[in-house]
Chain A
Amino acid sequence: MADLRNKYLRHDKKFPHVWCPGCGIGVVMASLIRAVDSLGIEKDDIVLASGIGCSGRMPVYVDFNTLHTTHGRSLTFATGVKLANPDLKVITVMGDGDATAIGGNHFIHAARRNLDMTAIIINNQIYGMTGGQFSPTTPYGAFATTASYGNVEHAFSISELAVTAGASFVARGTVYHVPQLDRLIEQGIRKTGFSVIEVISNCHVQYGRRNEMGDPVTMLNWMKKSAVSVKSAAGKTEAEMAGRFSIGVLADLDKPNYLEEYDKIRQRAAQNHIRVNEESTEGKC
């Protein structure tokens, strides 16, 4: 890893990083670096975009073209980048609040649109940077600074949302199952179309501390205990899966991706094959 560290990190003046000791985000960053390295993608060809939050700081540390956007909007910026230069490998890293609360609309539409990009969503079930408020993935009954009496909202599953919205590749991993995580990110980047890798991560500081998992080891043990492979999860009942989650590849589809489709539009447009009503610009409300 030392070599990779020297190769991929912005070691001059960007460290120490802002993350708490033991935070899972660093593990995800290392997995991403190993995935990129094993795929042999040039640093110049990668754009790493993020939104706001603890995970949003990752682009500062990695020596790619990096883009730290507004809260929840990284997929929209990434969409522009990819469409303007399809040769770029566009990867976004988001948190659970970033991707599915404020950015929820962009997330489902990016999945539906199926533009060739990779979205890594670090799910730590809490808003870490702003001080531990509950997020759309905070479990029912869990505690947070805005859920001091226990969370009355229901969490949704990021991966299942992505599958339903139509992403062509969806996988879930954890920061405990690191070799698998490396592979999942690699597969996601390699996939043509919109790919989502949800990573269950630990925010022991903001989530764990309030929910009897106040140190990284306890949280990693919780991941170890709660994660079930996709294959064995398929044979389990809903009751058996209660409080647990599956890890592995949840969807891997081949469907037309936006860039290929848009290229066809360019060809049709060049031959002037349009179906536009001459009056189409009038009488709109």
Chain B
Amino acid sequence: MAVKDSGRVVLLQGNEAVVEGALAAGCRFFAGYPITPASEISELMSVKLPAVGGTFIQMEDEIASMGAIVGASLAGVKSMTATSGPGFSLMQENLGFACNAEVPCVVVNVMRGGMSTGLPTSPGQGDVMQARWGTHGDHPIIVLAVSSVMDSFTITVQAFNLSEKYRVPVIILSDEIVAHGRESVVLPRPDEVEVVDRITPTVPPEWYIPYEDNSRGVPPMAPFGSGYRHHVTGLVHDTHGFPTEKPKEVGDFMARQFRKVTNGAYEIQMTRRFLLDDAEIAVFAYGSVARAAHRAVLRAREQGIKVGMLQLITLFPFPKRAADAVLRQCRAVLVPEMNIGQISREVKRVNMSAKVLKHNRIDGQGIGPDEIYEELLQM
């Protein structure tokens, strides 16, 4: 059980750190349905949220959980749900609604191995493309990956901030190793956490145009009950929020969705560089695999191999800028993943010159430093 000990060293599980991060970011509503390995997030939320005046509700399923967090966010409260693979699939339709209606919310998917019910308590990274394209229709979305307990705190805060700032749902991909691993971390004091809140309208209610474009492409958002009556729908809508099928209005709406995220690419696309300055080969990794890769890189360096690592925190929009620099500099890049190569395909997509190699495990086992090290020796 996590202890709220801001500013002090605490021993936390990844899932617990997600909860601490969410609370620090101002999350006051959580709806969820139990599923391993994400259940601890629900359990801890059920304890902590009422204590800070928030609300936890255990819904009848994941579809309902996703609907409830969208509803709560529309009423002005920062909201989150957490699940694992199969539950994430069930959330996709309402996740698409959140994209279409531009409702900020955070969805944590603690990935497990296998397809379908799969490997309930084994790690996996098989939901990367589901996070990007799981819901129907073209849409922008932000997907972040956590690799440690400290990440689980700080990236969750970031997820809320980005969600509020761009009015998009943000997906956090964790994996079973990060979620259940315990590490001691230093949590910042609440006043040290930078929290971003959505912009609300300042014009008189009669002037409010809920989906009006502006330079950022992100319209101010009025919570239900604040005197700005408006219509929210899953249908493609005009700037007033009402359904439209006029090609010009539909085109403008879709273009704005993509533009707002593209415009923010610089701050959305987070990566970490390790030992890349003189690197000739590089590892691109995310999630728990990034921890193993870090160790492997250090060991290879001891052998005189000029290798570095780019850790991807943001998976989508794919951090092309950071990846590009490494791909131009290095002759070869290794992408180890606990899937069949979902991010390596993204790397290949943006690659100009380097050789992109894969290292994959889909047997429900984590990827350890040794096997990455062995691969590096071959490169």
Contacts and interface: CB of A to CB of B under 8 A. Distances in A.
Asked if A pairs with B, the answer is yes
Interface stretch (A84-92, A122-130, A210-218): A84-92
Interface residues of B, number: 58
Interface string A246-285: 0000000000000000100110111010101010110011
Interface string A56-69: 00011001111111
B337 to A, nearest CB: 25
Contact of B55 (A83, A105, A274): A83
A228 interface: no
Contacts of B188: none
B181 to A, nearest CB: 12
B110 to A, nearest CB: 12
Interface of chain B, main secondary structure: mixed
B50 A85 contact: no
A81 interface: yes
A177 interface: no
B233 A266 contact: no
Contacts of B60: 105-106, 109
Given A60-B242, A65-B229, A67-B71, A81 B55 contact: no
A284 B39 contact: yes
Contact of A73 (B37, B76, B94): B94
B63 interface: yes
B64 A76 contact: yes
Interface in B243-278: 243
Interface in B52-66: 53, 55, 57, 59-61, 63-66
A106 B64 contact: yes
Interface string B19-60: 000000000010100001101100110011111010101011
Interface string B192-224: 000000000000000000000000000000011
Interface of A: 13-14, 43-45, 47, 49, 59-60, 63-70, 73, 75-85, 87-88, 105-106, 109, 262, 265-266, 268-270, 272, 274, 276, 278, 280-281, 284-285
Interface of B: 1, 13, 15-16, 29, 31, 36-37, 39-40, 43-44, 47-51, 53, 55, 57, 59-61, 63-77, 79, 93-94, 97, 120-121, 223-227, 229-235, 242-243
